[in-house]
Amino acid sequence: MTDRPAGIVGRVSEDRDRLIGFIRDEAVFHGDFTLTSGARASYYVDLRRVSLDHRVAPLIGRVMVPLVDELGPVDAVGGLTMGADPIAAAVLHQGVAMGRDYDAFVVRKEPKDHGRGKQVEGPDLAGKRVVVLEDTSTTGGSPLKAIEALRAVGAEIAGVAVVVDRATGARERIEAEGVPYRAALGLEDLGLA
């Protein structure tokens, strides 16, 4: 972990605790759900309920910036649309407020069929170190799809950072690809373990 003054560490801890409360209270739903991976679950973490909320987006950014810092020098952050988009915006804005100068990018699920036909939108990432972000990770499929598109444009993958890891194999799949993986929160933090 990056050395930070005690005041910053306390702030991150406070922000993390507040973020956990918002997610538990407003973004965790119990029932019978089918996840993107096709797996069934008795709960669903809908981070868009909070990642697009003016009270929570800054918390997400402030909690995620230290995870990005752990992955070394970074030029840009982003991931597969749609889950990663609000996370990237929060990290970009809070990163700037915290003195970082990384940009953001968006990875489309498929290349555009018009215009320049791009799959990766934002600044030119050839030769740049990037961190792939994700809101909630189950199998790691979305970050891996983003990594594939980013490598195709010449980006260097510094790592993957997710807000909530469901502990269902994403870490293992991503690390098997030689990519470092960080998670801000786990199921135990949300009372779901």
Task: Name the residue with tokens 């649309």.
Answer: 81
Q: Which two tokens stand for residue 42?
A: 């008795």
Confidence of residue 35 (pLDDT cuts 50, 70, 90): confident
Please write the tens of the pLDDT for every residue from 81-90: 999 999 999 9
- Which runs of consecutive H residues, i.e. helices, occur in the chain? 6-26, 48-51, 57-70, 84-97, 141-152, 170-176
User: To the nearest whole percent, how much of the chain has pLDDT over 90?
Assistant: 82
Beta bridge partners of 78: 105, 132
Mean pLDDT along residues 178-193 = 96
Rounded to whole angstroms, how far apart are CA atoms 135 and 82? 9
Mean pLDDT along residues 129-149 = 95
Query: Which domain does 57 fall in, by range?
Result: 6-190
Decide if 163 is inside a domain: yes
Strands (E), 138-189: 156-165, 181-186
Decide if 116 is inside a domain: yes
Decide if 159 is inside a domain: yes
Decide if 1 is inside a domain: no
Decide if 164 is inside a domain: yes
Please write the tens of the pLDDT for every residue from 168-177: 999 999 999 9
Rounded to whole angstroms, how far apart are CA atoms 12 and 7? 9
The number of folded domains in the chain is 1
CATH of the domain at 175: 3.40.50.2020
Decide if 106 is inside a domain: yes
Rounded to whole angstroms, how far apart are CA atoms 37 and 55? 30
pTM for the model: 0.91
Confidence of residue 6 (pLDDT cuts 50, 70, 90): very low
Rounded to whole angstroms, how far apart are CA atoms 143 and 141? 6
Residue pair 53/90 in contact (Cβ under 8 Å)? The answer is no
